[in-house]
Amino acid sequence: MNRPINPTSIAPPAANYHHAVVTEGPTRWLHTSGVVPTAPDGTTPAGVGEQATVVWQNIAAMLDDAQMSRNDVVSVTTYVVAGQPLGPVMAARDVFLGGHRAASTLVTVPELARPEWQMEVAIVAAS
């Protein structure tokens, strides 16, 4: 149902993602808001790597509640405050997806809605 699109006529993806994913005949879609690094107890970790872990834990809970899995994720949009290291953010995405690849965009921004948030992620899943 979800098929990767990586034309050989263009350069390959720069990291662990697909250029595009075509979804054929889905019966259910999940669109998240920007998922922020607030833990269930209301705290926000200080470091961007730890924040990325919390974000993906929150996304896992949403997928589980929707009776979906990481393999249903077709698109990831990540926002990181400029100046934060991108490596830990990308690594957390890759660990969560466990080899599954989705279309993925990473954007640096000057700030997010709360000063303690250094990153957030929005996903689309289809099953």
CATH number, position 13:
3.30.1330.40
Contacts of 33 (CB under 8 A, 6+ apart): 122
Of 88 and 5, which is predicted with more confidence? 88
- How many Å apart are CA 16 and CA 38, to the nearest integer? 26
pLDDT at position 24 is 86
Residue 88, SS3 per DSSP: helix
- Dihedral sign for Cα 40, 117, 56, 95, please: negative
Strands 73-81 and 119-126: antiparallel
The answer, yes or no, to whether residue 1 has pLDDT greater than 80, is no
Number of domain units in the chain:
1
pLDDT digits (tens, 9 = 90+) for 24-63: 886 899 999 999 999 999 999 999 999 999 999 999 999 9
Range of the domain at 40: 2-126
Of 118 and 13, which is predicted with more confidence? 118
pLDDT digits (tens, 9 = 90+) for 59-114: 999 999 999 999 999 999 999 999 999 999 999 999 999 999 999 999 999 999 99
Contacts of 12 (CB under 8 A, 6+ apart): 6
Q: Which pLDDT band, with edges at 50, 70 and 90, does 116 fall under?
A: very high
